[in-house]
Chain A
């Protein structure tokens, strides 16, 4: 029975392939032929969205607002007022932190007025010397994570200061210090809500799916329209992007808390609130902390993208450096971003694991040891800064603030390296690049673009049907139909072509490397650490070295995607293979299998569900990277999204384009996830 069924599956695949080829070959290419391309029935959708947004922002429900400038009440739409208030609050918080770190007048202005500030010269908030901030962070690191963390923070902050990135780094930090906590709290709150109510969870799940797979850019446009441009808009976009994983992991963590622990909480007489905050959330700490980590990573991944709508700091500088092809500069800035990400991540982790000592009978001095230490650092830092002003008589006081780009730089070295690589390998790179583009990429791209819409539908829905029956086929078909009815089917094909090639390569590399690494505990641990490290880097960082080597071409984008998307494939492969129980290894060995037989007939089938989820993640990673690839020039959906950023009526376009990208991802997700679930079920793992 099982054999017949298996044969039937392969028969189905074969049949599907034959139909696909026939359709591909014989459907005539003509714009009026619906089998070739569907008409863009959804052409009006972006315009409708635009109109709706405009109505909401500028017309809906006008209320009377007092305008102090003209001293009169004015009619203003409610929604615009709400978003304005919101923007103002977030901007105020960002500016407050920024001015504590870097000095300024805006916070004072917020409580007084520009006139008052310009009349009173003394009313300036002075910047803290960089030595004081570094010292303070080092002490914080020591309190939470002892010497190791303190040393790491010292190195990280000194690097930032010495390399002349202090100012943009502090700007970025102030932005992240607002966005991350908001995202964490919001995510936690939504997660708890979803945990408590089944209905909320059912509603939230598909929304989270779409939100997580929507390209970063797509968020920028509506945020820009509702909240304008600036740090606050960047922060809001970041929060929207960073919250979903937090929600996911909160729900996951809470669900994993053993029922007996919750019961123990109840039996000690916890109220609902106490149960939540003192039992459930702390017990789910592991997963929630992964969520916090994800939020921090997402925040820093958004740093560059948020700079497109006016967030100041490292992201902006990095974007400029990338545009000017200043690889060395971009690299130094990139390192700063990674360092800030690591510092915040380690600090949050250490904070959550902090232990209290109840028995220590502390004197005043001991109790306030760290505050006193900070006071000393503060005073010493200020004295140094004052001394500095005598030493560095002309120009910049390096002991107070190292101005941007006036520190050490290794840019010349990198530039020299790039030049050297170019001079030495120019012809081989160029030859490879030309060959790859002309003989590999372009033919595949042409083949994708030459695919009639009916053939695409048949293929994807057919796979959906074979894997998950009629339900999966319809879901996949629904996603495709939306894309096919917009004007951007061809662009979507280009995106898919990059994705398909990238996923094939990453999947192969990832599974191979993962399998090899999983052969030994040490190598698999090493590989997992590598994956962790690489995942910490915000995605666009990967664009820097490939641009260095291959310039602005599809090859660069593809390589960047492959490098980035290989991470999950390798990680899930290792985790899958390592999760095969030892008894089964032993049983296979005692049955007399050799290494390869064991891999093929025991390890591979058992870890297949894991690997399928890994490939699923690879698709998601590849999608996010291909869209970011627009920053260095592609001609797919991403580029259009980037363009609609500067378009006045870009909201509709941006959102619909974003949905197209999300739906490509969700179509793959549907197939892979169903497949993985079925295998899991068949193996009794679910």
Chain B
């Protein structure tokens, strides 16, 4: 909630989708016209069409990390490709920084991609004939930047993703994690404002994936891009997202903060997804704190309201006195009893408010 309330008043959205549809198939256009705005996936299927994205409307704000999450075939990658215009949406409007990309000429689109967009792919999609250095310099050279200048910039990117020393390796000589580092460096070379990541870590094994997620968070902290991130891994989504959009059969079932999705699943489908998720790994302290009553004896321990419960649970439980909860200005905004934590860990969470 916080992101939305904070941003919607103050900032223009970077990306805004209005009723975006993507229908595949030979007579998609005809079916779309006849449907009059209500797309029934079953009916379309009978006519030989596949509904990729069905009436998607949402906004992404500057510096926000929105994760589009769903199982394979749910249309999450299609939605991402509609926004990057790798596929053209069948209907709807997609605004990037106020301009409708569906109305853009090819030239404008190329200009937009050269200056504002970067994308990372699941299979890395490195150019097999270019070295690490050349791959990273590629977007710069395409733009027409001189060789020496783009090589210099590429070298900085290599240092940023810790691949120093491997400049002249070919993609085939690198491990999956290293290849994706190159992919990330390449997508960041032109310093884009908007960063698309299409299942960037799905092809990696779990340990490397974890490491790359940490790396990604570190990068995001320093770069603060607006990010659209597609994944099928719910844990990954919870770990990284500001907000999550859960998709099924082309429809966005729910779009909300991780905590809200876990606590208040909008549909049965989302509930099934979130059932197994440990609450303490999603909820923040401020979701379970109680109002501060002056005069109560508090522990010397203080926790931040923004902390995830699991990260501070042990310390709180080890203290028999209630713990003060503070905001970023060290002002006490509530207190936490051991009982609060225990009930989150082991109890029924229906009553918890984020």
Contact = CB atoms under 8 A, between A and B. Distances in A.
Interface stretch (B23-31, B97-105, B126-134, B219-227): B126-134
Contact of A267 (B115, B130, B167, B196): B196
A14 B17 CA distance: 67
Interface string A262-278: 01111111110010001
A279 B117 CA distance: 18
Interface in A239-292: 258, 260-261, 263-271, 274, 278-279, 282-283, 285
B151 to A, nearest CB: 5
A269 B183 CA distance: 15
A358 B111 CA distance: 27
A145 B114 CA distance: 36
Contacts of A358: 133, 147, 151
A258 B142 CA distance: 20
Given A263-B86, A282-B129, A355-B168, A268 B139 contact: yes
Contacts of B131: 355
A357 B131 CA distance: 10
A290 to B, nearest CB: 15
A266 B142 contact: no
B113 A269 contact: yes
B86 A267 contact: yes
B151 A260 contact: no
B142 A270 contact: yes
Interface in B163-190: 167-168, 183, 186-187, 190
Contacts of A270: 110, 142
B335 interface: no
B119 interface: yes
Contacts of A282: 127-130
Contacts of B138: 268, 278
A268 B121 CA distance: 12
A269 B147 contact: no
Interface string B58-90: 000000000000000000000001001010000
Nearest to A278: B142
Contacts of B250: none
B258 interface: no
B137 to A, nearest CB: 8
B86 A266 contact: yes
Contacts of A258: 123, 125
B119 A267 contact: yes
From A258, A260, A270, A283, name the one whose CB has the most chain B CB atoms within 10 angstroms.
A260
B118 interface: yes
Contact of A266 (B111, B113, B123): B113
B128 A268 contact: no
Interface string A505-542: 00000000000000000000000000000000000000
A264 B119 contact: yes
Contact of B113 (A267, A278, A359): A267
Nearest to A274: B142
B84 A260 contact: no
Nearest to B148: A358
Contacts of B125: 258, 260-261, 263-264
A261 B119 CA distance: 11
B7 interface: no
A357 B121 contact: no
B111 to A, nearest CB: 7
Contacts, number: 76
B156 to A, nearest CB: 14
Interface string A358-373: 1100000000000000
A270 B179 CA distance: 21
A74 to B, nearest CB: 50
Nearest to A282: B129
B43 interface: no
Contacts of B190: 268-269
B202 interface: no
B213 interface: no
A524 B127 CA distance: 31
Contacts of B127: 261, 264-265, 279, 282-283
B87 to A, nearest CB: 9
Contact of A269 (B86, B111, B167, B196): B111
Interface string A209-226: 000000000000000000
Nearest to B84: A267
Interface string B187-201: 100100000100000
A268 B113 contact: yes
From B117, B127, B143, name the one whose CB has the most chain A CB atoms within 10 angstroms.
B127
Contacts of A266: 86, 113
A285 B129 CA distance: 8
B4 interface: no
Contact of A357 (B111, B129, B142, B168): B168
Contact of B114 (A260, A269, A355): A269
From A260, A265, A269, A270, name the one whose CB has the most chain B CB atoms within 10 angstroms.
A269
Contacts of A263: 81, 86, 119, 121, 125
Nearest to B115: A269
From B86, B151, B183, name the one whose CB has the most chain A CB atoms within 10 angstroms.
B86
A307 B40 CA distance: 69
B139 A260 contact: no
B344 interface: no
B121 A264 contact: yes
A270 B168 CA distance: 23
Contact of B142 (A261, A269, A285, A355): A269
A264 B167 CA distance: 20
Nearest to A270: B142
B55 interface: no
A269 B110 contact: yes
B274 interface: no
B260 interface: no
B122 interface: yes
Contacts of A269: 110-115, 117, 139, 142-143, 190
B110 A283 contact: no
A268 B151 CA distance: 16
Contacts of B142: 268-270, 274, 278
B121 A260 contact: yes
Contacts of B81: 263
A472 to B, nearest CB: 28
Interface string B142-156: 110001000100000
Nearest to A356: B134
A303 to B, nearest CB: 32
Contacts of B133: 358
A108 B138 CA distance: 45
A259 to B, nearest CB: 9
A264 B128 CA distance: 12
19 contacts: A260-B123, A260-B124, A263-B81, A263-B125, A264-B121, A264-B126, A266-B86, A267-B196, A268-B139, A268-B142, A269-B111, A269-B190, A270-B110, A279-B127, A283-B129, A355-B168, A357-B168, A358-B151, A359-B151
Given A260-B125, A269-B113, 6 more contacts: A268-B114, A269-B117, A270-B142, A278-B142, A285-B129, A355-B168
Interface of B: 81, 84, 86, 110-115, 117-119, 121-131, 133, 138-139, 142-143, 147, 151, 167-168, 183, 186-187, 190, 196
Q: Which 8 A-B pairs have the closest CB atoms?
A: A269-B114, A268-B139, A269-B113, A264-B125, A260-B125, A267-B119, A282-B129, A260-B121
